[in-house]
Amino acid sequence: MWFRAALFCIFAIILALASAVAGEIIPYAFATKVGAQSVDNILNVLASSMLAVTTFSLTAMVSAYSGATSNITPRAVQLLVEDSTAQNALATFLGSFLFAIVGIIALSTDFYGETGRVILFGGTILVIANIVITFLRWIEHITRFGRVNDTIDRVEAATLKAAQVMGQPPHFGPRLRRPVPDGATRIHLEEIGRITHVDFATLREVADDLNATIFLSAMPGIMADPARMVAWTVAKPDCSQMERLQSAFTIAHDRAFDSDPRFGLVVLSEIASRALSPAVNDPGTAISVLEAGTRVLAVMATMQPDEDHAASDKLIVPPLSFSEMLEDLYRPIARDGAALIEVAIRLQKSLAALAEPTPAAKPDCKAAATEAYARAHAAMTAEADRTKITQIHQRYWS
């Protein structure tokens, strides 16, 4: 967040100081007609008001982060921090305040002269116009910034983007396990943390140098440690090639949305679980999460392979397991919302909606629906609810 604000501040200082240099091209007669003497008062008003607006905006953003942490899920806060509209608003207000302060200081030292005041006056008008536009956008944006529905939409968009970055359809059925032959070179990482990004281009380059195939066994989101193998190859890479292989994996303390669609599904399920807790008791939010997650999984199930990220002769990329993604999203909701008939019904219908356009996904969806039905049937106390969920389950999965 600080980077964009720093850029705006640097630009504001350059604009304020450049007025003295550019003022030499303004005729003195024109400068006296424009009335640039009033720029002193305008800058004073700008400096006093922008400090208050910056403080207000920062307070609103911190409140949204705190609310998301306590009421939604802490894992979704990073999406709020990355919000470009909020960053632009804070950077614009802070940069405008610094522009006014630098202008006032320069005016008090007669740094501009009469013609330089004209340039400063014009720059001030442009800054005010930018403030008005940004403030109007910020007013519209802050009414929904950090709310539950807004956060769900952000997580859904981030998960879809991560799925497109991975660029390959999931694997249906049991998880694939590829045996490692004896004598193969196993690649391990020295750091301990979550893999947040895998540089496929670097891995392909090393595979071309080795003239051998590299098999990935760890993808973004996996917890890496010195004991876990992240890739292997039958070739014998030298020290420099091994360093390049290890550098292709980016390690961080926490998972990130960028290349990890399963993390987005986990965050969606956390939002639903928080909403289904006895302290919140909001099944409507859980239903919204089910609908958002179903849309994401529907796109991933029908995704076409991307040539830049799909497996090739020199790099074998393991596809994501569709059954595991179903567990990431639906299992926590089926557990925490088992006693609620409306949540159980929506879950059965969501899984049926996934299975309809993709026949290969039907066994995985049926297994998840059967498990959710068993949980619901055991948790519901009313016989009418049991009868209803049984009818719904048999309608789609008989």
Q: Which string of DSSP letters, residue by residue, matches 100-114?
A: HHHHHHHHHTT-SHH
Separation between Cα atoms, residue 26 and residue 31, nearest integer Å: 7
Identify the residue with better confidence: 304 or 270.
270
Q: What band does 312 get if pLDDT is binned at 50, 70 and 90?
A: low
Q: Out of 119-123, 239-243, 275-279, 346-350, which region has the weakest mean confidence (pLDDT)? A: 119-123
Close Cβ partners of 254 (under 8 Å, ≥ 6 residues apart): 194
Domain ranges within the chain, ordered by starting residue: 2-146, 185-252, 261-397
What's the pTM?
0.85
3-state secondary structure of 26: coil
Tens of pLDDT along 172-194? 988 777 888 888 999 999 999 99
Edge-to-edge strands, sheet with 193-198: 223-224, 193-198, 249-252
Tens of pLDDT along 125-151? 888 999 999 999 998 898 888 899 999
Percent of the chain with pLDDT over 90: 49
38 has a pLDDT exceeding 90: no
Tens of pLDDT along 54-112? 898 889 889 989 988 888 899 999 999 999 999 999 999 998 898 888 888 877 777 66
Measured CA distances, 296 to 156, 293, 325, 330, 376 (Å): 7, 5, 11, 13, 24
25 has a pLDDT exceeding 70: no
pLDDT at 108: 77
Q: Which residue from 105, 117, 91, 100 is spatially nearest to 19, judged by alpha carbons?
A: 117
Q: Which of the four CATH numbers 3.90.1170.30, 3.40.605.10, 3.40.50.920, 3.30.2350.10 does domain 185-252 have?
A: 3.90.1170.30
